[in-house]
């Protein structure tokens, strides 16, 4: 436990699968400097129905991205070409997870990342200087401190740029020449100041549609990316499975051995799906909350409830605690969202409790936590 980390990276969590796929992947065609072929990258992300045989043993490759399989295939092919990949969509639609999985499978490194913020500067994505060495010896490669874009070009690996539209326009535009010419100019180094990208380099960007207009990408930069829109999960059963899978992984990492509550996952998946879509399964129109009703938020609510049961309770997930945590997730944008949630309980949840009973009845009875 001394070497344990709070959140292992994808290449650490799935090390056994990646090593098995490298052995299995000997004969498949792969782009230069990729660790796995596009076929193996697809298999790593989307899983296989049967175990993979390699090196005299079999390894199960589980499905990690529960979404649009065709979108994953297009993303892989984009990264094999000359254009960058831009994943856009609502918050909490697993854009970051997909970019991490792609980087781990293609480059073996998912940590070469820029986290875009309003304070991101050009030297945070390209390079900066060790000023002690710079003053002592002048500009040199030894005095240069590489940033993720420089590292990606130098090593021929992917660079992830999270929340690209949160960064200032001038920082965004500094990517244009790099994505076009695949060369980074370092004027301070004179004639030796040109870094040409090695094969395997590319950029995966992510952006939330709710941030549109914060720092809108220029048309020139947009042309350097292939855009893929990651849609929210449309199927309740699939959303429930994602919640159970992700919470199960979090619980394992935290040493929580409590069994997963299928009914609680059903309640949350249904609630988030119906409020996000603005219509119940029975066809009743609902007011959509301003808060982000994403699958990622549902996972957080479930995990919070599970930890409460594990540390404070008897191990059984309580619907009252579930509603409490749901309130904390929904009441972020405005107080009006609480009225919309209360209306949902007084109409849709009440009807489901009358018709189905069981967990829905306990869920409805816990509506007092909404006040």
Distance CA 44, CA 63 (A): 7
**Domain stop point among 230, 254, 285:** 230
Rounded alpha-carbon distances, angstroms, from residue 180 to 174, 189, 192, 200, 342: 11, 22, 20, 15, 52
Q: Is residue 103 part of a domain?
A: yes
Q: Is residue 11 part of a domain?
A: no
Q: Is residue 80 part of a domain?
A: yes
- Regarding whether 245 and 226 lie in a shared domain, the answer is no
Residue 1 clears pLDDT 60, i.e. is over it:
no
- Regarding whether 221 and 95 lie in a shared domain, the answer is yes
Q: Is residue 24 part of a domain?
A: no
Binned at pLDDT 50, 70 and 90, residue 129 comes out as: very high
Q: What is the pLDDT of residues 10-27, one digit of tens each?
A: 999 999 999 999 999 988
- Regarding whether 87 and 212 lie in a shared domain, the answer is yes
- Regarding whether 298 and 200 lie in a shared domain, the answer is no
**Domain stop point among 195, 213, 230:** 230
Q: Is residue 171 part of a domain?
A: yes
Q: Which residues contact 237 (CB under 8 A, 6 or more apart)?
A: 269
- Regarding whether 205 and 106 lie in a shared domain, the answer is yes
- Regarding whether 171 and 265 lie in a shared domain, the answer is no
- Regarding whether 143 and 184 lie in a shared domain, the answer is yes
- Regarding whether 205 and 259 lie in a shared domain, the answer is no
Q: Is residue 26 part of a domain?
A: no
Q: How far is CA 276 from the centre of its chain?
A: 19
Q: Is residue 38 part of a domain?
A: no
Averaged confidence pLDDT in the chain: 92
Q: Is residue 365 part of a domain?
A: yes
- Regarding whether 124 and 83 lie in a shared domain, the answer is yes
- Regarding whether 226 and 78 lie in a shared domain, the answer is yes
Distance CA 77, CA 86 (A): 13
Q: What is the pLDDT of residues 224-263, one digit of tens each?
A: 999 999 999 889 999 999 999 999 989 988 889 999 999 9
- Regarding whether 244 and 193 lie in a shared domain, the answer is no
Domain of residue 222 covers: 67-230
Helices (H), 138-193: 148-155, 169-181
3-state helix, strand, coil in the chain (%, to 5): 50, 15, 35
- Regarding whether 323 and 204 lie in a shared domain, the answer is no
Q: What is the pLDDT of residues 31-86, one digit of tens each?
A: 999 999 999 999 999 998 888 887 777 889 999 999 899 999 999 999 999 899 99
CATH code, domain with 131: 3.40.50.300
Angle at 166 between CA 163 and CA 170, to 5 degrees: 115
Q: Is the pTM of this model over 0.85?
A: yes
Report the domain count for the chain: 2
**Domain stop point among 230, 264, 293:** 230
């Amino acid at each position: 436990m001394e070497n344990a980390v709070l959140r292992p990276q994808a290449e650490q969590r799935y090390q056994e699968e990646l090593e098995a796929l490298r052995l299995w992947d000997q004969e498949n065609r792969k782009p230069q400097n990729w660790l796995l072929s596009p076929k193996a990258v697809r298999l790593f992300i989307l899983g296989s129905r049967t175990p993979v045989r390699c090196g005299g043993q079999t390894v199960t490759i589980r499905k990690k991205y529960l979404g649009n399989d065709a979108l994953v295939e297009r993303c892989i092919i984009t990264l094999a070409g000359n254009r960058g990949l831009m994943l856009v969509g609502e918050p909490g639609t697993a854009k970051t997870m997909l970019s991490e999985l792609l980087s781990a499978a293609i480059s073996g490194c998912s940590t070469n990342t820029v986290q875009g913020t309003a304070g991101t500067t050009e030297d945070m994505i390209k390079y900066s200087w060790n000023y002690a060495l710079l003053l002592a010896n002048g500009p040199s490669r030894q005095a240069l401190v590489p940033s993720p874009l420089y590292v990606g070009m130098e090593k021929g690996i992917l660079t992830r740029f999270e929340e690209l539209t949160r960064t200032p326009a001038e920082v965004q535009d500094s990517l244009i020449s790099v994505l076009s010419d695949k060369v980074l100019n370092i004027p301070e180094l004179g004639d030796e100041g040109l870094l040409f990208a090695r094969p395997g380099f590319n950029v995966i960007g992510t952006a939330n549609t709710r941030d549109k207009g914060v720092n809108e990408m220029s048309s020139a930069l947009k042309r350097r990316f292939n855009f893929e829109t990651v849609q929210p999960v449309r199927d309740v059963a699939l959303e429930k499975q994602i919640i159970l899978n992700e919470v199960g992984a979090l619980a394992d990492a935290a040493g929580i051995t409590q069994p997963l509550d299928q009914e609680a996952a059903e309640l949350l998946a249904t609630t988030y799906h119906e409020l996000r879509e603005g219509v119940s399964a029975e066809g009743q129109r609902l007011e959509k909350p301003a808060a982000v009703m994403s699958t990622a938020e549902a996972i957080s609510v479930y995990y919070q409830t599970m930890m409460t049961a594990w540390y404070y309770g008897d191990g059984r997930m309580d619907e009252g605690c579930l509603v409490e945590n749901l309130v904390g997730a929904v009441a972020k944008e405005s107080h009006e969202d609480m009225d919309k949630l209360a209306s949902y309980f007084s109409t849709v949840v009440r009807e489901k409790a009358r018709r189905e009973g069981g967990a829905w009845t306990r869920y409805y009875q816990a509506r007092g936590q909404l006040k």
